[in-house]
Amino acid sequence: MSALPQLKYSINEYMEMEATSLEKHEFYQGEVFAMAGASIQHNQIVGNALYLLKAHLRKKGKCQVFPSDLKIHCQINSLFTYPDLSIVCGKIETLQKHKDVVTNPTVIIEVLSASTQDYDRGRKCKLYRDIPTLNEYMIISSMEFLVEKYEKQTNGAWLLNVYHREDLFTINSIEIQTIDLYEDVVFDQSA
């Protein structure tokens, strides 16, 4: 991610720019960052997760999964971003007149790459946890068999669990085996 030249943008300036841009940009506290493309492994994992979640959520009927073209906004900290996957349960809430900006995700999933892993695990993880409706934040590595799941507890604290190749875990009460997220993925041995 790299910042655009102007020092600070208003939310309205960002929204106008994003509406006509061919690239996706993240916004945080007046700064706008171009979002990088993704590797083959990253896209395979996103596709596998989308397929697994869509099949199960269709049966539940109350939740929908969205790929990375859906913009999420956290009003508490001003973040606008495009997670790799997001799940919204119940009625979809949007940002005022902006019907392409959702404010109530239940689950957010990011797929790590070497260039984004520190941000996704650190600052972005903290920013996401400010979203009142968020119950789960998942991080899936594109470099190894590794899933990290942050889950909001009833007391508001966040619990981290780590899963490896053969482990079972749940996303929004859907049981998934880690290995299924990595179907057809061949890791880059030079990384």
**pLDDT per residue over 24-51, tens digit each?**
999 999 999 888 778 899 999 999 999 9
Pick left, alpha or beta for residue 22 (phi over 0 → left; psi -120 to 50 → alpha; otherwise beta). alpha
Higher-confidence residue: 3 or 14?
A: 14
* 170: in domain: yes
Same-domain pairing of 52 and 106? yes
Q: At CA 19, angle to CA 103 and CA 65, rounded to 5?
A: 40
Q: Are residues 62 and 146 in the same domain?
A: yes
The model's confidence at residue 17, banded by pLDDT at 50, 70 and 90, is very high
Task: State the Cα–Cα distance between residues 77 and 177, nearest whole angstrom.
Answer: 34
Decide: 108 and 140 in contact? Cβ < 8 Å: no
In a domain, 188, yes or no: no
Is the pLDDT reported for residue 3 higher than 60? no
Both tokens assigned to 188: 């880059």
Tokens of 156: 């508001």
Q: What is the mean pLDDT of residues 85-114?
A: 94
Contact 117, 146 (CB under 8 A): no
Q: Is the pLDDT of residue 141 over 80?
A: yes
Confidence class of residue 58 from pLDDT cuts 50, 70 and 90?
confident
- Over residues 85-94, the mean pLDDT reads 95
The residue behind tokens 């999420």 is: 72
**Average pLDDT over every residue of 147-164:** 96
Tokens of 118: 């520190």
Within this chain, do residues 59 and 97 fall inside the same structural domain, yes or no?
Answer: yes
For the cut 80, the answer to whether the pLDDT of residue 10 exceeds it is yes
**Does 189 map to a domain?**
no
Average pLDDT of the segment spanning 76-99: 94
* pLDDT at 36 (0 to 100): 79
* Residue 191 falls inside a structural domain: no
Q: Is the pTM of this model over 0.85?
A: yes
Structural domain range at position 21: 1-35
* 187 falls within a domain: no
At 190 the pLDDT is 61
Same domain, yes or no: 4 and 73: no
Q: What is the pLDDT of residues 167-178, one digit of tens each?
A: 999 998 888 999
Half-sphere exposure of 154 (CA within 13 A, CB side): 0
